Structures are given as structure tokens and as C-alpha cells.
Amino acid sequence: MARPKIALIGAGQIGGTLAHLAAIKELGDVVLFDIADGVPQGKALDIAESGPSEGFDAGLKGTNDYADIAGADVCIVTAGVPRKPGMSRDDLLGINLKVMKSVGEGIRDNAPNAFVICITNPLDAMVWALQQYSGLPAEKVVGMAGVLDSARFRHFLSLEFNVSMKDVTAFVLGGHGDTMVPLTRYSTVGGIPLPDLVHMGWTTQDKLDAIVQRTRDGGAEIVGLLKTGSAFYAPATSAIEMAEAYLKDQKRLLPCAAWVDGALGLKGLYVGVPTVIGAGGIERVVDIKLDKPEQEMFDKSVGAVRGLVEACKAIDNSLA
């Protein structure tokens, strides 16, 4: 059976890391696409030359021609610009919306059967625009944010409790922005929910609140340190986790920016929710029940996402 084909649209910091991870994990043959001449070609060659030491079998090709992504099984989109210190994700909207138009059309014309994972910010609005411009079925177009935000939350919790990250599960829902909703009630250490751990004296409510806030600010913390761009290692690993769930029909339960039409009281919106990813793409949106404070936080986050979608429509009135 032929190897799956993975197209990476955008060969910058995240795109290059995605290519390296996909090759090392032998998820398939990788095509790196970018508008910058030489960058995707150079990165593809450099990664291919790491193959003999690493011992992977994966083809790597860099290109500036959409025709080379033809028939891709997975497309991961990072094309656009990242933020700099002092910028919010929302400041990127105007520039990255134009990028989503060209990328969406490139995917529509060359890889209409792909499972498409968007990473470009502002995430929830960009994945919506990408689905609109590409015309692919909504269950095949998804945004990566919740896996990363949850991974950050898990990392901070494992440091606080001094336990393995493997035993920490965590859930972050809502839009990928300042209003994201880390759900402590649904986050556990070895199956014990975080509020119980507060009662058991493992941590205090104040410390837990500070970890929740650090999670919300996780992207900005890294932008502030790097000064020249945003996080790329953990965002790439998170998207690879989603791509692997699709390619191997793993039925993983992962929080993703998915099209929600009915669940969680929402009608027609891309926003971070628990999903099941398998060979069908987004096979299920998990309709979890939120308590009153959680619902209020989620509603606020949904409001912020709706505002960004309206801003996109104001820029391009071809968007429905």
C-alpha cells in the first residue's frame, strides 16, 4: 500500500517542525509548500538528510507549486504570519484571512479529499474561513488549539504536583484566545479531578487559579521570551497528534476547533470542543454538560469567536 501523503502549507517555524516530526514518525511522505522560494526546498532537503541517522523511510519534497500537493491525505496549514510581542492573535486577522483564501483554493483544487488541520491564527476564525474558501466538508476541516492549550495546562499541573505528565489529563475548551476555558472539573491526576486535589491539600485554589491563568497566557509567555515569533515545537506536536489520529483511525478524544451545529447549545460555529478524531475526520462532537460558571466562561469565549467571524465577513463579503 502506498504511503499516505502529508502536505504542509507553510514551511516556516511550525511547518519545518511538522515535517521533521512526520518523517521521524513515518506518518507518510511529506510535501512542504510555501510561497517563499527556496525555503520549503531547503528544509525538505535538510530533513531528508537527517534520515540516514534517524533511520526513517519518508519522502520529502519542497515546493512553491500547489500541483505538488495533489491527492494529499492530510494538509496542515500554518501559512500566514505569527504575532510579535505586544500583538494579540486577533491583530493577525486581516493579513491571514487573505492567506486562507489562497490556501483554501489551493486545497480545493488539488487535495479535496484531505483531512485539513488549520493552525494559523486567529485560529477559530481562520479555520472557519479555510472551510468556507476550500468548500471541503466541515468534518474534514478542523483547527488545532485545544490539544496545545491542554498540553500546556498538563505540563504546568505536572510541575505543581510533581507527577508524570502521562498521568495528568486536562481539558481546555472555547476559542483559542484570552477567553479560552480550562476546565478544572474535567481535568484529573490519575483520575482524581483537580477540585478534589485542592480538598486533599495537594494544592490551593489560589495556585490552581494561577495555573489556569498561566495556561491562558501560555502563547504570550513564549512570544515574550522568543521576541521574534511564536511557539512552534508544541504546536507542531499537537497537530501531529491529530493527524496521526486521523491516519491511523485511532478514535482519539481530543479538544479541537470543530464545526459545532447543535452540541453545547451552539448553532453553526467553529470553536474548541471535545471531539473524536478517526478515519472519518471529526466523527463526533462530545456534548458535555457545563455548570453555570463554566457555561458563562464558555459563552464569553464563544462571543469572542463570533466577533472575529463577523470581522472576517466585514473584510470579505463573499464569506457567508
Residues that bind ligand A3D (CB under 6 A): 9-15, 34-36, 39, 78-83, 92, 96, 99, 102-103, 119-121, 123, 144-145, 148, 176, 229-232, 235
- Least separation in angstroms between residue 245's CB and ligand A3D is 17
Q: Give the annotated binding-site residues for substrate.
A: 83, 89, 121, 152
Question: Which DSSP helix (H) or strand (E) runs through 15?
Answer: helix 13-24
**Cβ-proximal residue to ligand A3D, closest one:** 12
CA 266 to chain centre: 21
Q: Give the annotated binding-site residues for NAD(+).
A: 10-15, 34, 96, 119-121
20 is catalytic: no
Q: What would you report as the CA-atom Rg of the chain, rounded to the nearest whole angstrom?
A: 19
Sign, Cα dihedral of 273, 278, 279, 285: negative
Name the residue nearer to ligand A3D (CB basis): 126 or 189: 126
Phi, psi of 87 (to 5 degrees): -95, 145
Name the residue nearer to ligand A3D (CB basis): 15 or 197: 15
Sign, Cα dihedral of 99, 101, 104, 106: negative
Question: Measured in Å, how far apart are the chain's first and last C-alpha atoms?
Answer: 40
- Least separation in angstroms between residue 33's CB and ligand A3D is 6
CA distance 285 to 301: 18
Instruction: Give the amino acid at 92.
Output: L
Name the residue nearer to ligand A3D (CB basis): 56 or 232: 232
- Least separation in angstroms between residue 151's CB and ligand A3D is 10
- Least separation in angstroms between residue 283's CB and ligand A3D is 22
Q: Which residues are catalytic?
A: 176
